[in-house]
Structure formats: structure tokens, C-alpha cells
Chain A
Amino acid sequence: MNERLFGIHGAALTLRSERMGVIASNIANAATPGFKARDIDFNAALDARLARARGVSTANPGTNSNAGMVWRSPTMPSMDGNTVELNREQVAFAENAVAYSATLSFVQGRVGTITRALKGE
């Protein structure tokens, strides 16, 4: 139902929001010794999510929910084992925020279209 209404944008919006949380976790742990920065590979995660939504019966139920989760490889490893690089996190966060806005306007457009159709204007 959700997918018929919003296409891929519903899943994409959830995923963008999750990715925002993951990058915020990286930023929060910028000074934690031994912390390994993570990120979500958006394409892989979206594919996995759509496949799961389409073939609930065919796909094995044990599909892990964190598909597309990747470790970030640091440009230069640090002594304390922390792999967060603030500049990269900032860029990733900004990029993700812009993409979130874009997806949100797609969803809004879809809702507007349907509302108009329902009202019969």
C-alpha cells in the first residue's frame, strides 16, 4: 500500500532518516577511542528494502535489517583506533540532508496529487 502510494520515495525517506542517525552517531563519537565510523550504502540498502517489500513471501525472513551498512575506511588511520573524520562526516551529513529534502518534496508532490484527485477539483 505504502509502496503503491509513494513509489520508492517512502522507503527512501525512511532510509535517509536512518542514515542521518548513523552519521550523527559518527559525529557524536568523533573523540571516542576505538570507535569505528559506519555509513549506509544508500543504493544497496534501498534495493534490499524494496526487494523485501515486494517479495515478503519469497525472500527468506532472515534477511538482515541492516543491509548496506558499511564501515568507513579512514584516509589516514589515527593512533587511538578512531576512524571518524569530521570533514567527511560533515559532507556526508549535508549531502544526506539535501537528498532528504528532495525525497520529501517528491512525497509531498505525490500527496498533493492524490489529494487533488480525491477532492475532484
Chain B
Amino acid sequence: MPERAPTTLFSLTTRAMSAQMVRMNAATSNLANAGSVSSTEEGAYRPIRAVFAVELDRASGLAGVTTSGLVRAETAATKRFDPSHPLADKDGNIWEAPVDETAEMVEIMESARQYQNLVQALQTAKQLMLETLRSQ
């Protein structure tokens, strides 16, 4: 494991903001692929989700967050009978990506809220630090 710089409030917030970014990007990719169809069940797009994990820094006692990976949802693709579709298989079926748009929108909103919260906390902490530095 490579030697990392000690966690400060700033690096903690940076990493947490990146994690929220990954989460938001995953949800946006899902939304973008919401209407996509495939001619096979395996080929259909499955929604992805970011999984977060705690990253504890024992020296400072701060607990950061990191994305431990992206997982694909185990939802079954939606089968639709549409023989006129150019991608239809020999039985006339197409497979649609099982994306729940509402859930993705909620995910994006929640992520944005948490991102906002982080920025606010960082601003307050930075202001207090500056006040401490400027005092003589």
C-alpha cells in the first residue's frame, strides 16, 4: 500500500466530493441508457451503482469515504414484443434496459444534497481556520 499523506479536513472533503461525483455519474449513465434496447437478454444495459466504503485514518481519527467499486444491478431486462423493431430477435422480442428513471432522479438529488452539505461544511471550517490564523 503506498504511503498516503495524512488526512486533513480538506483531503477528507475532497475525497468525499469525488465519491459523490462517481455516484452522480453512475446515476446519470443509468438515465442516459434508460431507453436503450438490445436484441439479447444478456446484451441489455443493467443499471450501475457506486458502493461507498469507509476509509479510516487512525492518526487523525477522521473517517473519509471512498468508492470501493461499481456494481451492476441484478434486475432482469424487460422483454417487449415488437417484431417491427430493427433489433428484434427471431421471435420478435426486444430487451429494454430496466432503468427506473424516478429512482435515478432521486439518487441524483440526494447526491447533490450531500455534495452541497460537504461544500458548506468545508466553507465553515475554512473560515474558522482563517480566523484562527489571522488572530494575533
Contact = CB atoms under 8 A, between A and B. Distances in A.
Tell me if chain B binds chain A.
yes
Interface stretch (B57-65, B72-80, B84-92, B95-103): B57-65
A27 B118 contact: yes
A21 B9 contact: yes
Interface residues of B, number: 34
B125 interface: yes
Given A20-B128, A24-B9, A31 B62 contact: no
Interface residues of A, number: 32
A30 B63 CA distance: 11
27 contacts: A21-B9, A21-B12, A21-B60, A22-B61, A22-B62, A23-B121, A24-B121, A24-B122, A26-B63, A27-B114, A28-B15, A28-B65, A29-B16, A29-B64, A29-B65, A31-B52, A31-B111, A33-B51, A33-B52, A35-B54, A86-B113, A89-B117, A90-B120, A94-B124, A101-B128, A104-B135, A111-B135
Interface of A: 13, 18, 20-35, 38, 66, 86, 89-90, 93-94, 97, 100-101, 104, 107-108, 111
